[in-house]
């Protein structure tokens, strides 16, 4: 396991762990040559022994390095050191969503809408963004499984558990529509989903529901649930989105404690 002070290839010095998952870790680090702060994605030890795995990770690095967009963290470098493959990326300051959910368990409808709005224009995958919104509202994802294939099949074939009653009805309606298996029923874009959520929060207030109410903390899940969740969602860490640059106007119902995210999902 990596630790603060570890040095990769004689150049990158690890300082703080940002997130960890079933496939590896993301660290804040210092580039000793250029003197700048970077983020480094480290593959878990042993994965490089699997046939073809390092080639796929290296290919991911090449594809990511070819992307140039204001809402995507740049890829600076790729390397391998004593059996550990790593990807060096632009460091985006902010609080990871995983940390917010770990600290608060669930988020209010207003906080959820604010965070969705931060990233809506940077994404085209409405379903994935809605899964994240579901987790923010409930403290858990709609589906869990012991293997990635089983998890994918659950998303394809099973209806998500209904959102709890403490989520205002208009918000429940929008989220469940965006989780429909038929894409034609979902909002046409992530930006449209964000607008619908804003309207749902406003409607909730008119109906007498408080979108700022802090939901109850859910019951703790078993270790096996956390482990399978971690392994399946760590694959999303490579697509780190710069939330602060998403360009969505502020929600007209601002959160009393707004957040600034740096990593959407890196568990």
Q: Any idea what the CATH number is for the domain that residue 48 is in?
A: 3.30.200.20
Domain-located, residue 260: no
pLDDT for 124 equals 58
Same domain for 106 and 193, yes or no, is yes
Same domain for 113 and 139, yes or no, is yes
Same domain for 45 and 134, yes or no, is no
pLDDT for 218 equals 57
Report the distance separating Cα 24 and Cα 1, nearest Å. 10
pLDDT for 163 equals 92
Give me the number of domains the chain comprises: 2
From 90, 118, 134, the end of a domain falls on 90
pLDDT for 61 equals 85
CA 250, 251, 255, 256 dihedral sign is positive
Q: Any idea what the CATH number is for the domain that residue 161 is in?
A: 1.10.510
On the question of pLDDT at 74 being above 70, the answer is yes
Report the distance separating Cα 116 and Cα 197, nearest Å. 9
From 32, 66, 90, the end of a domain falls on 90
Same domain for 195 and 63, yes or no, is no
Which residue would you say has higher pLDDT here, 148 or 240? Answer: 148
Q: What is the mean pLDDT of residues 255-263?
A: 41
DSSP 132-197: HHHHHHHSS-S---SSHHHHHHHHHHSPPPPPPTTS-HHHHHHHHHHT-SSGGGS-SSHHHHHHHH
Give the pLDDT band of residue 253 (cuts 50, 70, 90). Answer: very low
Report the distance separating Cα 263 and Cα 237, nearest Å. 8
pLDDT tens digit string along 7-43? Answer: 999 999 999 998 877 678 899 999 999 999 999 999 8
Same domain for 49 and 153, yes or no, is no
- Domain range for 21 is 7-90
Which residue would you say has higher pLDDT here, 56 or 88? Answer: 88
Which residue would you say has higher pLDDT here, 232 or 100? Answer: 100
Same domain for 171 and 239, yes or no, is yes
Domain-located, residue 252: no
Same domain for 200 and 239, yes or no, is yes
Same domain for 42 and 128, yes or no, is no
Same domain for 127 and 65, yes or no, is no
- 234: tokens are 């760590």
pLDDT for 148 equals 66
Domain-located, residue 209: yes
Same domain for 27 and 157, yes or no, is no
Domain-located, residue 77: yes
Same domain for 31 and 128, yes or no, is no
pLDDT tens digit string along 107-154? Answer: 777 778 777 776 665 555 788 889 988 988 888 889 988 776 788 888
DSSP 74-105: PEEEEEEETTEEEEEEE---SB-HHHHHHHHS
Put simply, whether the predicted model's pTM sits higher than 0.85 gets the answer no
From 66, 90, 114, the end of a domain falls on 90
On the question of pLDDT at 251 being above 70, the answer is no
On the question of pLDDT at 219 being above 80, the answer is no
Same domain for 198 and 215, yes or no, is yes
Which residue would you say has higher pLDDT here, 146 or 235? Answer: 146
Domain-located, residue 250: no
**Chain centre distance of CA 245:** 16
pLDDT for 213 equals 67
């Amino acid at each position: 396991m990596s630790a603060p002070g570890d040095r990769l290839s004689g150049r990158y010095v690890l300082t703080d762990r940002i997130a960890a998952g079933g496939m590896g870790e993301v660290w804040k680090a210092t580039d000793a040559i250029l003197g700048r702060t970077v983020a480094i994605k480290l593959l878990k030890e042993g994965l490089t022994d699997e046939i073809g795995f390092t080639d796929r990770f290296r290919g991911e690095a090449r594809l990511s390095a070819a992307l140039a967009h204001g809402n995507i963290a740049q890829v600076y470098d790729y390397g391998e050191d004593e059996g550990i493959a790593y990807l060096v990326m632009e460091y985006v300051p902010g609080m990871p969503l995983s940390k917010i959910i770990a600290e608060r368990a669930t988020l209010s409808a207003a906080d959820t809408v604010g965070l969705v709005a931060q990233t809506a224009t940077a994404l085209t995958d409405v379903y994935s963004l809605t899964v994240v919104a579901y987790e923010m509202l409930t403290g858990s994802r709609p589906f869990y499984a012991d293997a990635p294939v089983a998890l994918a099949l659950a998303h394809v074939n099973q209806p998500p558990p209904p959102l709890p009653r403490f989520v205002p009805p208009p918000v429940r309606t929008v989220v469940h529509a965006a989780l429909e298996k038929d894409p034609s029923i979902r909002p046409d874009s992530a930006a449209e989903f964000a607008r619908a959520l804003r309207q749902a929060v406003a409607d909730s207030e008119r109906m007498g529901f408080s979108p700022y109410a802090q939901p109850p903390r859910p019951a703790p899940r078993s270790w096996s649930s956390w482990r399978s969740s971690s392994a399946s969602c760590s694959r999303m860490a490579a697509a780190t989105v710069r939330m602060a640059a998403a360009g969505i106007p502020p929600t007209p119902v601002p959160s009393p404690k707004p957040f600034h995210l740096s990593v959407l999902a890196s568990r």
